[in-house]
Amino acid sequence: MKKTNLLKRIISMGLCSFLAVSGLIILYSCSKDELYSKELLVYLVDRGGSATTTKTVSFVYNPLYITGDSLIRIQAFATREVAADIDITINPDISLVSQYNVQNGTSYLALPASSYRITNSSKQTIKAGSLQSVDSLKLQILHPHSALTMAGANYLLPCTIERIDSKDKGVRISTTNCTLYLRFAYVFNNIDPSIVPATGTSLSRTGWVATVSNTTSGAPATNLLDASNSTVWRSSSSSSAAKWVILNMGGVKSVKGFLLSPNYTSTSENPIEITVSTSLDNVNWLKQGVWTGTGPITGSSAISPDIKGITFISPVQAQYFQFTITRMVSSTTRTGLAEIYAVAAQ
């Protein structure tokens, strides 16, 4: 009888031990299924991989069209390889614009909703074992949009992580890089990149007045309008002084472009970068853009000049035209030109 009771106790204790061990195994299995990674953050960067919280998107526009990269990609990243898939929902949030302006002392306008669209799903996935999302959120910028072509206006579109879903309960959204701020800069440029002279009828220069920033003795502003390629206007030799010409046409003219006859007194002084601005009243000016050219070709001369062309993409109506020279062929102190003609818009 005692042996039987002892056997029963041993069997009972063994069963309890088995159950206890089994319970631990089941508990351990459950803890493995319930992933809880530490220090795992998801954040946003642009497609180029920059980890900054801002991305500048630049567009150049004129009266006819807008140029620039109209497709923007935003990719989600993790601070290390993830143990389980992470679904990340990303969407624009214009409510963050005012907050951004306050924190950075800026005055961005919210990018109008009608000027962009998301071309794929807002949900991006970082696959297990990976550091970045399989795809990117794709934003297509729609053109034209009249609000975007306001001179000097810049726009902001914050794109932020709204939520994350994963079996890994330890993953968190980064508190510093959860939003990528897209900054849109719209710059007006109405200057044709070609330096080929425009064709057409030259405007009469009767009554024109040329005013210049400064001069060298014997090379006054009047030489720009005397119909001689042998006489030139030359600025002072100061390297720090402004260098510009303002043409007053005596009335509002419709201009297609300008023809510049080079300075053959010193070819190194010829301008190869000019900012062109226009005005109706000599007070309020509109920057038309920046012209980039070259010096006169070898073999050309005052008798057979290498005429340079500054052509507007869309003709301009103005009375005053300013040419601010910011770079010369090789001179760092003085610039100059022989003649300036204007081509009438047809």
- Supply the pLDDT for residue 49: 53
For the chain, list residues with pLDDT below 50: 1, 3, 6-7, 10-11, 15-34
User: pLDDT of 136-176, one tens digit each?
Assistant: 999 998 865 555 655 556 899 999 999 999 999 899 999 88
- Supply the pLDDT for residue 15: 43
State residue 275 phi and psi, 5-degree precision: -90, 125
Q: Could you tell me if 187 and 58 are in contact, meaning their C-beta atoms sit under 8 angstroms apart?
A: yes
- Supply the pLDDT for residue 20: 41
- Supply the pLDDT for residue 53: 86
Domains of the chain: 41-188 (2.60.40.1740), 209-344 (2.60.120.260)
Question: Which H or E run contains 2?
Answer: helix 2-33
- Supply the pLDDT for residue 147: 54
